[in-house]
Amino acid sequence: MLTGGRQTGKTTLLKALFPHYSYASLDLPADAQLAEEDPDTFLAKYPPPVVIDEVQYAPKLFRHLKVRIDRQRTKCGQYLLTGSQKFNLMKEISDSLAGRCGLLELEPFSVNELGSDYHAARTEKGLAYCLTRGTFPHLWDAPTLPREDFFRSYIATYIERDVRQILNITSLRDFDRFMRVCALRTGQLVNKSEIAREVGVSAKTIHDWLRILHASNQVILLEPYFKNIGKRVIKSPKLYFSDTGLVSYLMGLNVSNVLDSPHLDHLWETFVFSELRKSLFLQHPEATLWFYRDQQREADFMISYGSQLYLLDAKWKEIPPQSAFTTLCDIQGYFREASSQVFMITPNQDSFPVTPDKHVISGFSLADWKWQ
């Protein structure tokens, strides 16, 4: 099972890796209806080996897949499934395919995967272009495609297909407004009551809608570090959109206005968070990513890796002053039992040490940084 948000390249990847497999898409209403109402006929129409796309649209299919898998337990990889909704998929998998299904998740591109296309952004205008375009594969495969057209279609499809299926939302316009209100809070603490007031719905509704955004890979909630520190530490999570292109579009930002926006720092922090998640998952899956915040101090990110603690701030300044490290160094003092270092993540093209335990790292080379 390959999960991930819409347009992350799940189908393209599986078709490239397994060109001899047959293919069925439950994005097509006729196939989705057949798979849901007559799973045996559907599976006879598409015999293994087969890629079945967007399986969340036919939850009754899973039990019939289980029967076929159990008949040939020694033949692995006969059914390659994709899905864009963790919310429904995980329940169906745990109920029907537990022990029979491996789970992988596909993120949008990282900077390293984009390679020279992204690293060419050495000017402020180039950085503005990259941040507002985001990392969805199709936008880089089709460089002449206006990002406004892509994201307008993306949001419409997401709300109409995914959101409507998961929840019986009476006003899709309210959900669209909810997404835009959340976008203005990327990189900030989640305050459901405040969001509810702005959208005009209840806090319980906001709770349910946040679950939808998270389950469909649109946002990630970063938990705070508060082990053995006491009540002074903030314990609410921070919200990050998974793609800077999507969140900047929802904010109304584009190449011409993003560098003057009061939201630029949070947009950069969102980019850094995305790159940190991808690089840690690939290189150090045993590491844990948090943030730290008490009543006086905050570190945008904290990495716990073995006996090491790394404290990081994302700053939209190429050369941060020495004073920028003061707060991180204060927090560092709380963790004397652990070996720790502090870092500033900037849009600078180069990384360099300030002192043996203070570093400036380019946000575009996080994937190459060795946390050890």
Q: Are 249 and 278 in a shared domain? A: no
Total domain count for the chain?
A: 3
Q: Are 194 and 99 in a shared domain? A: no
Residues 290-308: pLDDT tens digits?
Answer: 999 988 889 999 999 888 8
Instruction: Report cis status (omega within 30 of 0) of the bond before 49.
Output: yes
| CA–CA dist 135, 152 (Å, integer) | 16
Q: Are 212 and 97 in a shared domain? A: no
Q: Are 140 and 278 in a shared domain? A: no
Q: Sorting pLDDT into bands at 50, 70 and 90, what band is 238?
A: very high
Q: Sorting pLDDT into bands at 50, 70 and 90, what band is 269?
A: very high
The residue-averaged pLDDT of 338-346 equals 86
Q: Sorting pLDDT into bands at 50, 70 and 90, what band is 353?
A: confident
Residue 138 in domain: yes
Q: Sorting pLDDT into bands at 50, 70 and 90, what band is 232?
A: low
CA distances from 312 to 63, 150, 304, 309 (A): 46, 33, 12, 10
Print the domain residue range for 14: 2-105
The residue-averaged pLDDT of 139-156 equals 95
Q: What is the pTM of this model?
A: 0.91
The rounded Cα 332 to chain-centroid distance in angstroms is 28
H helix runs in 2-38, sequence order: 10-17, 29-37
pLDDT at 73 over 90: no
